[in-house]
Structure 1
Amino acid sequence: MFQKLKSFDAYPKTVDDFRVKTYAGAIVSIVSSIFIIWLFLSQISIYMTTETHHELFVDTNRAEKLKINIDVVFHHLPCAYLSLDAMDVSGEHQFDVAHNIFKRRLSPTGEFIPDAPKREDNVNIKPKVNENDRPECGSCMGAENPSKGINCCNTCEEVRVAYQKMGWGFDPSDTPQCVREGFTKNVVEQNGEGCQVYGFLLVNKVAGNFHFAPGKSFQQHHMHVHDLQSFKGQFNLSHTISRLSFGNDFPGIKNPLDGVSKTEANQYQYHNLVVGSGMFQYYVKIVPTIYEGLNGNLINTNQYSVTEHYRLLAKKGEEMTGLPGLFFMYDLSPIMMKVVERSKSFASFITSVCAIVGGVFTVAGIFDSFIYQTTKSLKRKIDLGKAS
């Protein structure tokens, strides 16, 4: 039985006395061994890394909200000037967003001002007012309108709202309520400063836009309007987008606008127009994405591409030919991408290693046999004196 078992040996051995070792064979063996080791190490590197597969299909997710993460630094625009507004095609408007949005004052050199509140919006902070100093029914500065329910204005915000309903421009510097609450003082104190705006927005999962612009915003005759009368001079919209993403981050995600920095053009005179402030526009195309990691966990998020446009505005007299600001117009793709991360199996790694060792060994053997037979034939001819 054991004798018959030997007949299945696929690797018959030869006697050492019949083996011929040559210098060429040694060189081929060393080179092939080095080649095998190099390929083996490369296979280990491939085995340790993960592979990413992409799939595309129609987005059937019916989520109603889209999370927008923002972190933008305005180098020459104070926090007291800035407001953040969001609107979409469904008709929803968010004016002067302060919930989950925070502002930090920056010095002209870009350093944080430690005395400034870090987790609140300086514009929306209302100082404590002694109730004894507040009149029972303050004047609305001529904007009283009983038919619209406007009779008394005891705060700066109430006067501003009353002026908006009348369609008038509002100047807080001439309003006693605003002077008492320190609005003008904040604007003067922050002149020349910068501002960091960070946090997140929750918007409907439909096309829309959000923008940073100076002045208080309101809606008048179905139009989105910013009241810039409270602030004098030009607005420098130079900015750095530290972060702009939609949804949660996942390993390997690349946000095209992260780290983008833009500098506002200098103000100059052109005929009877003063040119300087501009409108930065970013058109964002959002691609819904599902990321599946090695552990099988799913992350619902978004990727995006972007194009940008800059429009230089002019100021004629006291009126601006457009609204200076930083605008982000976004739209969603109906196609969803699924990113699946997979690691290489150990069986495939072993298969690759065996293929490398066997393949290199076989090719090296053929090459060594060719060299040996060639040199042997050449030597025989030399011995017979037939070599020329």
Structure 2
Amino acid sequence: MPPKNRFVKLDAFTKTVEDARVRTTSGGIVTVTSLLLILWLAWGEWADYRRLIVHPEIIVDKGRGEKMEIHLNISFPRVPCELLTLDVMDVSGEIQTGVMHGVNKVRLRPEKEGSGVIETTALELHAGEPAVHLKEGYCGECYGAPAPPNAIKSGCCNTCAEVREAYASVSWSFGRGENVEQCEREHYSEHLDEQRKEGCRIEGGIRVNKVVGNFHFAPGKSFSNGNMHVHDLENYFAGAEGVEHTFTHKVHHLRFGPQLSDDVVKRVGQRGMAWSNHHLNPLDDTDQKTDEKAYNYMYFVKVVSTAYLPLGWNKKASVFDNIPHEIIPLGDYGKGESNSIETHQYSVTSHKRSLSGGDASAEGHKERLHARGGIPGVFFSYDISPMKVINREARSKSFSGFLVGVCAIVGGTLTVAAAIDRALYEGSSRLKKIHSS
């Protein structure tokens, strides 16, 4: 037998003679229908192959020496900006007193007038303007306190803010600045009285060490007294006629790390994880009210590192990995190559109490006692989870899987179509025999 004919016995696709074939109208309809069905199912298979899904993974977070950004937007309708202070501290011993670079203080109209915006001021750490209309060589007195190291003129207190800073360095209460020449010249007490009924909104971002720490909003200048962090509360408690300061507040937005885009959030949520920006930032739109001056709000936040890696992402050594974080603009920290994002999720529990102490009988728990004392304000204590969530983009199936699916569609559809055509042909043949007999 010739070599060519050896494969004849192996032919699984036997052919029929053209004369033995019978073509019918029903067969043509079934053929066209099956082809349309094959095209529709193959298009669905292609769309499924092109669809991106997100595979979540959990690993131990081995990052070291990293920073973390906190972006916030919080309103205090009953505390003026002049009295509100933002401080940041962590277990490494780093303390950032006063508002930081990247944070704005927005003066708000009184609640009765709708809390509209009066003025927005960007505050820089250690920023200050030289006093005007002063004689050349003027050196203001610090009234027994050492001049602050960041004074405009070394060894002098030429502004009211520098006198306040000097007082804070030795843990002295400052009050309204009576009999302080610099403050009287700048009309500090008059400006304070003008703002008594105003509110304040703090918005912007701060960069902190990625360790256990806290940031808080409290009234008055802050300073350290031994191992204690203290605020000058005199002006806050003094108030004014018809004015009662309280820490009623609304958290418009609070997140740790860069914001995920809406399409990323939607894509991750397709796996039934119920993701939304509120899911990532559960404190958004939190509203707390109190009529008591000596009142404290505490939020205990558990932060979980979360990475989003786009399709085809592959970590490569980059010169940008060694750039000092100070050079990276606020808001860009955590955005990597190929649109990868290093951000954070968090969970939160909250607690509130009156600083005057007492029990929780109003809440139905007489056996629960509140400690007496403390600083009025809003405190956010954050802890870092040792685990990290990685959301990695991938195709829903491989290209070989796509080809297998298409073959299954073609084969399965033609097999079912052949069975339907055979049944229609046999049925019509029997009907013809019955009618002819």
- State TM-score, norm by structure 1: 0.74
1:59 corresponds, among 61, 72, 89, to: 61
1:326 corresponds, among 373, 378, 389, to: 378
Over 3 Å counting, the alpha-carbon distance change for 1:290 and 1:260 in structure 2 is closer
Say if 2:224 is the partner of 1:219: yes
In the aligned structure 1, how far is the partner of 2:294 from the partner of 2:41? 60
**After alignment, is 353-362 or 376-385 more displaced?**
376-385
- Partner of 1:365 in structure 2? 418
- Partner of 2:251 in structure 1? 240
- Once the two structures are TM-superposed, the CA of residue 170 in structure 1 deviates from its matched residue by 2.6
In the aligned structure 2, how far is the partner of 1:57 from the partner of 1:332? 14
Over 3 Å counting, the alpha-carbon distance change for 1:12 and 1:305 in structure 2 is farther
Equivalent residues in 2 for 1:166-245, closer than 5 Å: 167-176=171-180, 177-231=182-236, 232=239, 233-245=244-256
**After alignment, is 68-77 or 187-196 more displaced?**
187-196
In the aligned structure 2, how far is the partner of 1:16 from the partner of 1:281? 89
In the aligned structure 2, how far is the partner of 1:99 from the partner of 1:322? 28
**After alignment, is 216-225 or 235-244 more displaced?**
235-244
Residue pair 1:210, 1:327 contacting (<8 A) in 2 also: yes
- Once the two structures are TM-superposed, the CA of residue 89 in structure 1 deviates from its matched residue by 1.4
In the aligned structure 2, how far is the partner of 1:350 from the partner of 1:181? 79
- Once the two structures are TM-superposed, the CA of residue 353 in structure 1 deviates from its matched residue by 2.4
- Partner of 2:362 in structure 1? none
In the aligned structure 2, how far is the partner of 1:91 from the partner of 1:122? 18
Residue pair 2:300, 2:349 contacting (<8 A) in 1 also: yes
How big is each residue's C-alpha offset from its partner over 1:249-284, in whole Å with a ceiling of 9 and x where there is no partner? 5772555227811333252xxxxxxx3675443332
In the aligned structure 1, how far is the partner of 2:401 from the partner of 2:247? 59
- Once the two structures are TM-superposed, the CA of residue 225 in structure 1 deviates from its matched residue by 1.6
Gaps of 5+ in 2: 150-154, 266-275, 316-335, 358-371
In the aligned structure 1, how far is the partner of 2:14 from the partner of 2:207? 70
Q: Secondary structure at the match of 1:263?
A: strand
- Once the two structures are TM-superposed, the CA of residue 190 in structure 1 deviates from its matched residue by 3.6
Over 3 Å counting, the alpha-carbon distance change for 1:17 and 1:220 in structure 2 is same
- Partner of 1:120 in structure 2? 123
Equivalent residues in 2 for 1:31-42, closer than 5 Å: 32=34, 35-42=37-44
- Partner of 1:47 in structure 2? 49
How big is each residue's C-alpha offset from its partner over 1:84-104, in whole Å with a ceiling of 9 and x where there is no partner? 111111222111132232333
- Once the two structures are TM-superposed, the CA of residue 72 in structure 1 deviates from its matched residue by 0.5
- Once the two structures are TM-superposed, the CA of residue 165 in structure 1 deviates from its matched residue by 5.5
Over 3 Å counting, the alpha-carbon distance change for 1:206 and 1:321 in structure 2 is same
**After alignment, is 196-205 or 88-97 more displaced?**
196-205
In the aligned structure 2, how far is the partner of 1:122 from the partner of 1:207? 23
Residue pair 1:241, 1:258 contacting (<8 A) in 2 also: no
Q: Secondary structure at the match of 1:350?
A: helix
Amino acid at match of 2:413: V
Amino acid at match of 1:363: V
- Once the two structures are TM-superposed, the CA of residue 135 in structure 1 deviates from its matched residue by 6.8
How big is each residue's C-alpha offset from its partner over 1:166-193, in whole Å with a ceiling of 9 and x where there is no partner? 5443312525333333433443344444
- Partner of 2:354 in structure 1? 313
Amino acid at match of 1:171: G
How big is each residue's C-alpha offset from its partner over 1:6-42, in whole Å with a ceiling of 9 and x where there is no partner? 945836355376325365x677667655654443333
Q: Secondary structure at the match of 2:80?
A: coil
Q: Secondary structure at the match of 1:131?
A: coil
2:15 corresponds, among 12, 17, 22, to: 12
In the aligned structure 2, how far is the partner of 1:145 from the partner of 1:277? 29
Residue pair 2:298, 2:380 contacting (<8 A) in 1 also: yes
How big is each residue's C-alpha offset from its partner over 1:329-354, in whole Å with a ceiling of 9 and x where there is no partner? 22222223333222455444333223
**Overall identity of the aligned pairs, in %:** 32
- Partner of 2:366 in structure 1? none
In the aligned structure 1, how far is the partner of 2:3 from the partner of 2:288? 90
- Once the two structures are TM-superposed, the CA of residue 226 in structure 1 deviates from its matched residue by 1.9
In the aligned structure 1, how far is the partner of 2:142 from the partner of 2:94? 32
Q: What is the CA RMSD across the aligned residues, in angstroms?
A: 4.2
Over 3 Å counting, the alpha-carbon distance change for 1:258 and 1:191 in structure 2 is farther
Residue pair 1:102, 1:119 contacting (<8 A) in 2 also: yes
- Once the two structures are TM-superposed, the CA of residue 153 in structure 1 deviates from its matched residue by 5.4
In the aligned structure 2, how far is the partner of 1:210 from the partner of 1:334? 21
Residue pair 1:237, 1:326 contacting (<8 A) in 2 also: no
2:302 corresponds, among 285, 292, 316, to: 285
- Once the two structures are TM-superposed, the CA of residue 66 in structure 1 deviates from its matched residue by 1.6
In the aligned structure 2, how far is the partner of 1:67 from the partner of 1:125? 27
Residue pair 2:176, 2:235 contacting (<8 A) in 1 also: yes
User: How many residues matched?
Assistant: 365
**After alignment, is 98-107 or 244-253 more displaced?**
244-253
Say if 2:123 is the partner of 1:71: no
